[in-house]
Structure 1
């Protein structure tokens, strides 16, 4: 029995899905999601309203959530909010939240743990993947999906940084994968799950070579947020023209980056791993990510 997913269709309804499971070869997939547009602006307020609930299940482990089951929702929100770094120096946690939401709602891969939930204070820096999810391919084959999120004004720079981080994560000399596996195992013990569910998850995540019941492989969920520049002339288009321009321009920009993704996989010799890429454009990304975290946490 897999852990319960917390993020559903309501989150995906906030976006236009303009590239759907683009095949990048070797089962790698790319999806472009564009936040709804109204009055020539992205619907950031609607996204923030949705994320108020989502940061609770993102930030808190199931054990922590269970401890709040008899409490009002406000206490859970405060506990979740307090794990975020101060918005003035928060460079990446917005991307981590969105990646968590996409992996649960679109990829159908429930969370095992997130980096944020194992922090003991908001100033902690936790190394390793941004989160770990479990994807069921069939009754016997599963993938541990390690999260990597990058927010960069330039899409191709974000692609480069993401695959550089993944290559470092997989470097045997740094033992990051072994550290992450031990962390997953230790966190499972703390989860509020029935003993049968725990044994099932443990068999999947830490399989024995002597048993052919389950196969587990590593894969990566990548979130890439980037800037789409809009000048005053474009802002003055009619609403319909603006939507069409922004969606078409963004799609062309993402399609033009596909070769960069394939090149990084080849250059870093990352064959045999599966990559699930989620790309989302923003306007004035540097300020927007700070403003959204501020509204969510203050």
Structure 2
């Protein structure tokens, strides 16, 4: 059913990122979705601002994280990171670049309130969400912290490895190149968090390299939809 919700998928570079981030949060982090924009897009402007989706993570110790997602696919990793943190900054400060009023983290929580009955989560997690919406009911003092997830897709050039490596060591060399790429940006992610006054928040960051990112994105989406 989710694939039917894609809006102009082959012309929208963001849809694949939203889908992959959804998969990571549900499959890897075991954080069920509360709200996904893929399900709510019914026009070119409805709900396109703000986060790409919201998930709830049970930490297992009586505390929870409400995770707001942001996905970006760019050719350059640095451009993707800049765009992701600019979006998060706007989201936190409720700043809509398009000039519309309804945007930001508090508006997103209002969306959760109006869509809570449609959430495919356990009754226990629904009770937790109600505590978020109606704090006066929180007699157990359950802690719910805001957190952020970021999916980054970027383009990597493996032409040198393709030309110079044998089939036996090709995958090792490509892996080595990707790890070097990521090592360069580890500190930059921390700097972005610090520069945007987000220290103290938890971040879940997923980064995937693509070759020929525009072609690959279209191919993956086409495969999903056929």
Q: TM-score, normalised by structure 1?
A: 0.67
* One of 96, 111, 117 as aligned partner of 2:39: 117
* One of 196, 199, 224 as aligned partner of 1:268: 196
Aligned counterparts of 1:104 and 1:154: Cα–Cα separation in 2: 27
Over residues 197-245 of structure 1, what are the superposed CA-to-partner deviations in whole Å (9 max), with x where a residue is unaligned? 6434312565338634311111011001111102166256222211011
C-alpha distance 89-141 of structure 1, shift in aligned 2 (>3 A): same
Aligned counterparts of 1:255 and 1:233: Cα–Cα separation in 2: 19
Aligned counterparts of 1:152 and 1:163: Cα–Cα separation in 2: 14
C-alpha distance 156-232 of structure 1, shift in aligned 2 (>3 A): closer
* SS of equivalent to 1:258: helix
* SS of equivalent to 1:203: helix
State the Cα distance separating 1:288 from its structure 2 match.
0.7
State the Cα distance separating 1:263 from its structure 2 match.
1.2
Match of 1:258 in 2: 186
2:219 equivalent to 1:297: no
Q: Contact 2:17–2:72 (CA<8 Å) still a contact in 1?
A: yes
Aligned counterparts of 1:189 and 1:209: Cα–Cα separation in 2: 18
2:162 equivalent to 1:234: yes
Q: Contact 1:140–1:214 (CA<8 Å) still a contact in 2?
A: yes
Paired positions, count: 220
CA root-mean-square deviation: 2.4
Q: How does 1:208-247 map to 2 (within 5 A)?
A: 208=136, 211-231=139-159, 234-235=162-163, 237-247=165-175
Structure 1, unaligned stretches of length 5 or more?
Answer: 1-55, 60-79
State the Cα distance separating 1:119 from its structure 2 match.
2.2
Aligned counterparts of 1:138 and 1:227: Cα–Cα separation in 2: 37
* SS of equivalent to 1:128: coil
Match of 1:63 in 2: none
2:45 equivalent to 1:90: no
Aligned counterparts of 2:36 and 2:66: Cα–Cα separation in 1: 13
Aligned counterparts of 1:297 and 1:210: Cα–Cα separation in 2: 43
